[in-house]
A and B are shown apart, each in its own frame.
Chain A
């Protein structure tokens, strides 16, 4: 296991920011760490990097305990903190050189690593600019570069894509995905598409508690309703009954406000192929067919809102 979190709890006074969380990440996995704002994502990551100590429980990274072997953990972890703090009055290359120096890189090796990182994240043209003069997207790249400069085995990224424009988000995601090919990556986000786009596995936490730990595919099935396909036809059709008879289809309903041109078809698996064949047989003018994008969102919402009410009551003592 690259990262192992066991019964991790962090209390601030009476309030538990993280409450008895356990999960583990295998080598080479990309783990999406998901949760609404204030769920305890950052706290967990700060503990895993050795920045703050846990109240109880253990975290080991590459076999090193964050409390007893803090220096070893820091050597194998690359960390991009939330809000990506940087020294705005340093130059890009200077800053990366400084961070590399903190990791004990010297002379030739340091210069080479810094150049490699600048190439990797695409900052060649900005390397002699001050960080303060860079746009947010470029700063994020600097943040990623500093997390990678010592070639860590484990990468912990706290909301690496917040505040970026759509193009930048796509770029950063691609970067994370390519990095993830030979490193273990944990990254937190509250955006679901991101998880679908990059991750192998998802851990969802809410109000400090673990509510899901599954692969992206498993999580999709967990919704119960399976996959919802949306079929759109050129003109209103009385197709509901016929669609319902397709194998595996559990429910068909006309989408709201579309005057029976669009149907939501729920099935256990992806039913798009069957729907298009059916439409061809029946001679229906099919103009659109897609999987409903929201299914993961709905799972996320149901997972993170159902835990909310019982939190209001005095919670049982967990010691």
Chain B
């Protein structure tokens, strides 16, 4: 598994993928958090990273599928999947190696944003007047979110040999899971069921964690989605049907 992880991770940094992903992530979020007038922290006047944690999921929404889209689709198209699947390497080792490499890249993109936290901490009046618990919670939430998107993206890549399809399916799936349920709930037909329905979406659980409240139920929710998506990937791979 470590061989696969290393190979995938090196592939990100040997090609432009890693730099583009990290670059776009930082530029986009930097703009929203510090520059754009409607959302920047400086005009807002509160030492708060709310903007960052609200925008970041939407950036991940298309960046994570971009990271994961090639994982299996490219191997299938190039035929190199045959090389991997005839090695003494279980399907799980292969999937986890690729999955962890993608998650790791998403987390690496997050690391520089710790500077934002430091800036806000420094700008606070008095200095350090930030809700640090909420920030830590939000980071954990964001990491879980990226991990979930990556699992969905890996699955999308495993069901097709076309990277574009893998990307679109993954991005759509992530959006549906992140915000789709809330959108559904806003239809006024659910009555009391609406609350239950909202709980199926990622946004519900993400927002809880982002408040600094790390509830095992929310963590469990993310972990189950990840397990489900990776399990489905395993099934898709086992059919050898591409």
A81 lies within 8 A of B82 (CB): yes
For A53, the chain B residues whose CB sits under 8 A away are 240
Q: Mark A76-120, 1 if CB is under 8 A from B, else 0.
A: 010101010111110000000011011110000000000000000
For B11, the chain A residues whose CB sits under 8 A away are 87, 89
If A71-B90, A74-B87 touch, whether A98 touches B7 (CB-CB below 8 Å) is yes
Q: State the CA gap A89–B17 with chains docked (Å).
A: 13
Residue from B14, B79, B80, B88 in contact with A102 in the complex, judged by beta carbons closer than 8 Å: B88
Residue from B82, B83, B90 in contact with A99 in the complex, judged by beta carbons closer than 8 Å: B83
A89 lies within 8 A of B90 (CB): no
Query: Interface segment, A43-51, A133-141, A190-198, A203-211?
Result: A43-51
Q: State the CA gap A102–B4 with chains docked (Å).
A: 8
Residue from A83, A86, A102 in contact with B84 in the complex, judged by beta carbons closer than 8 Å: A102
Q: State the CA gap A103–B78 with chains docked (Å).
A: 21
B86 lies within 8 A of A74 (CB): yes
B82 lies within 8 A of A51 (CB): yes
For B6, the chain A residues whose CB sits under 8 A away are 98, 101
B85 in the interface, Cβ–Cβ < 8 Å?
A: yes
For A46, the chain B residues whose CB sits under 8 A away are 82
A51 lies within 8 A of B3 (CB): no
Say whether chain B's binding surface is mostly helix, strand, loop, or mixed. Answer: helix
B89 in the interface, Cβ–Cβ < 8 Å?
A: yes
Chain B residues within 8 Å of chain A by Cβ, number: 21
Q: State the CA gap A189–B83 with chains docked (Å).
A: 20
For B88, the chain A residues whose CB sits under 8 A away are 71, 74-75, 102-104
Interface size bracket, A side: 20 to 34
Q: State the CA gap A74–B78 with chains docked (Å).
A: 21
What's the least CB distance linking A220 to chain B, in Å? Answer: 34
A146 in the interface, Cβ–Cβ < 8 Å?
A: yes
B188 in the interface, Cβ–Cβ < 8 Å?
A: no
If A51-B240, A101-B3 touch, whether A85 touches B80 (CB-CB below 8 Å) is yes
A217 in the interface, Cβ–Cβ < 8 Å?
A: no
A278 in the interface, Cβ–Cβ < 8 Å?
A: no
A52 in the interface, Cβ–Cβ < 8 Å?
A: yes
B86 lies within 8 A of A146 (CB): no
B15 in the interface, Cβ–Cβ < 8 Å?
A: yes
A50 lies within 8 A of B86 (CB): yes
Q: State the CA gap A57–B6 with chains docked (Å).
A: 38
Q: Nearest 7 A-B pairs (CB), nearest first?
A: A85-B79, A101-B3, A102-B87, A85-B80, A49-B86, A74-B88, A81-B82
Q: Which residues of B contact A (CB under 8 A)?
A: 2-4, 6-7, 11, 14-15, 78-80, 82-90, 240
> Given contacts A98-B6, A101-B3, could you give 9 more A-B pairs where the C-beta distance is less than 8 Å?
A50-B85, A71-B90, A77-B86, A83-B79, A85-B83, A87-B78, A98-B7, A102-B84, A103-B87
User: Can you offer 18 A-B residue contacts whose CB atoms are under 8 A?
Assistant: A49-B86, A52-B240, A71-B90, A75-B88, A79-B83, A81-B79, A81-B83, A83-B79, A86-B80, A87-B78, A88-B78, A98-B6, A101-B6, A102-B4, A102-B89, A103-B87, A103-B88, A104-B88
